Chains A and B, each alone.
Chain A
Amino acid sequence: MPPLPTGWETVPVPMLAIDRLTRTYGATSALDGLDAVLEPGVTGLVGANGAGKTTLFRIVLGLTKPDAGTVVVDGIDVTQDPVAVRSILGYMPEHDCLPTDQSAADVVATLGEIAGLPARAARQRASDVLDLVGLDEARFRPIEGYSTGMRQRVKLAQAIVADPKLVLLDEPTAGLDPQGRHEMLELVRRLGSFGISVIMATHLLDDVQTTCDHVVMLDAGRLVASGPTEELLHTTGVVRVDVGGRGQELLAALEHEATLLADGTVEVNIEGEDDVDAIVAAVAGAGLPLHGLTSQRSTLDDVFLAGSASASA
């Protein structure tokens, strides 16, 4: 690439840029002037059922036309060239979508070929991605005999078989038991480390909090909050102190506003680092054991509820 003229600099292209996106179904507004910019990485798209997540996915895939606004994926306008956008996307629907009378190896290889891979490369990559998602010899059996967890893995495998730049995952942990959910989230996290950007639509805030670098929150088609997960999970000004169940004694020793919790720990409101030092000193002065002292942070539930309240106000 030739050097840029002096004073010019490269501007990174966002993975997904959404500008005033609007889509209505009759009297129902699925998306209402949505603006968002998503950087590469693993992004959680959060919202209750009907928040507009699936409509957004449909528009990104070029399967639904927006009433107004634009969506640009990696520099390509979806409404201008949906086929080009789909050639860099992978998609894992929420619902059952696999042909049950075929084996996973066949299905993933065929879908890889339809995504543009040469036949031999499609078979090889199908084998690789099925390895990656943890489907061993079962891949050669018809899908009708698979468990929900195995089917979710096949759905994920077909979404990444053609090495997409961006993968849209619609409720990837739906129907999974705790172990399966944990493994699926681990796979999603790994995709980010492979350089594949991910947008994971879910209503499970815990999944997003543990998995995603960025969060976009929707409510009734409108943006509630968005940003890096770490920035949204700000500290709350509360520390929890564990003194081995002797919280009552700590309360007596403290000069700060504090609350004794049912498990014997104490939540103390603080205003700065000096207050933490004062708490430690109070614990030591009262001759109490200090088992733990943790800074309490807001959860995504707090952020979502606060954002929803202010959006509807």
Chain B
Amino acid sequence: MTATGRVYDRGYRPYEGELGGRRAARMALLKASMRRALGIRRAWRQKLFPWLLLAIAGVPAIVNVGVAYLTRDRIEGGIDIITYQEYVGVSTALLVFVGLTAPDVVCPDRRNRTLPLLFSRPLTGVDYVIAKVGAIAAIVFAFGLLPQIVLFVGQTLVSDAALDYVADNAAVLWQVPIAVALLALYYASLAVAVSSFATRRIVAAAALLLLLLVTSVAAAILTEGQLEPSAWEAINLLAAPLNVRDLVLDGEVTLGSLAGVNGATGLALGVYALVVGTSLGTLLWRYRWIET
């Protein structure tokens, strides 16, 4: 302290403004969870993997536009390495991102016993579930859609007739966002639900990836050697959102695991609804009462 310095006790100042209610609490938790998932305000180690994975998810779009640009004068119509439809859910980077970040936004709340601090505020279990699933879904949606936008804008610019390209592909402007949103909801609700049972992040991540891999392998074993497409493919949880993607973009399952199966539309919608519904129901059950 200098000779002229003086220490002030500023005491306590009451808050004069209005407090938000449940909606504000929910939004604040959602934003905090998104920041955590993306490593914002955290050490660089926590930023590295999420951003690396999200960058990887965008690589095919950039490569596709680059190749289309380089071949625009040599090959009529250019080369499409990947279509908009294939791009929805094709990148495992997004899946790995969900596997890493969903546990990170849920498990520490139980492990550090932070839940009582959250639930002593104007927040309910429903709000908590919406915020956590919403945070992961919002990031997956944003980073699932961004490459598609790069792809669309790039392809438009390198095409011979930009307006014709836009007119020919106008449908994807609404189809792709819906398909990506459905994919994001699927990944987020399943990953957060699995994570809600673990206090350790590594356990939750392993459980999620194991669940997806086991159902995928089980479907492959059950359908092996069959000449006709089999309804057993419905148990493949890894492929389930891609069947729904096909429904949005083509009106029927064309590329997904249920392509050619009788009643594929109903099966695809049923499995999707069952997984998302069960995941959200499980989460609401898990957070109906909070131990303090």
By a beta-carbon cutoff of 8 Å, the part of chain A in contact with chain B is 54, 57-58, 61, 63-64, 83-84, 86-87, 89-91, 93, 95-102, 106, 110-111, 113-119, 121, 125, 128-129, 131-132, 158, 160, 162-163, 168, 190-191, 194-196
Contacts and interface: CB of A to CB of B under 8 A. Distances in A.
A213 B167 CA distance: 76
Contact of B15 (A61, A98, A158, A162): A162
Contacts of A95: 113
Interface of B: 10-15, 17, 19-22, 24-25, 28-29, 31-32, 41-42, 108, 112-114, 116-124, 289-290, 292
Most buried by B among A100, A106, A115, A121: A115
Contact of B117 (A113, A158, A196): A158
Contacts of B14: 163, 194-195
B19 A93 contact: no
A121 B95 CA distance: 36
Contacts of B124: 83
A54 B14 CA distance: 28
Nearest to A193: B12
A114 B112 contact: no
B19 A116 contact: yes
Closest 4 CB pairs of A and B: A116-B19, A91-B120, A163-B15, A113-B28
B121 A115 contact: yes
Contact of A115 (B19, B108, B112): B19
A88 B267 CA distance: 49
A89 B120 contact: yes
A118 B18 CA distance: 9
A114 B25 contact: yes
A93 B117 contact: yes
Contact of B122 (A83, A131, A163): A83
Contacts of A115: 19, 25, 121-122
B56 to A, nearest CB: 25
A87 B24 CA distance: 11
Contacts of B123: 83, 86, 114
Given A63-B289, A63-B292, 15 more contacts: A63-B116, A63-B290, A86-B120, A86-B121, A86-B122, A91-B116, A97-B116, A111-B121, A114-B28, A114-B121, A115-B121, A116-B21, A117-B20, A128-B10, A132-B11
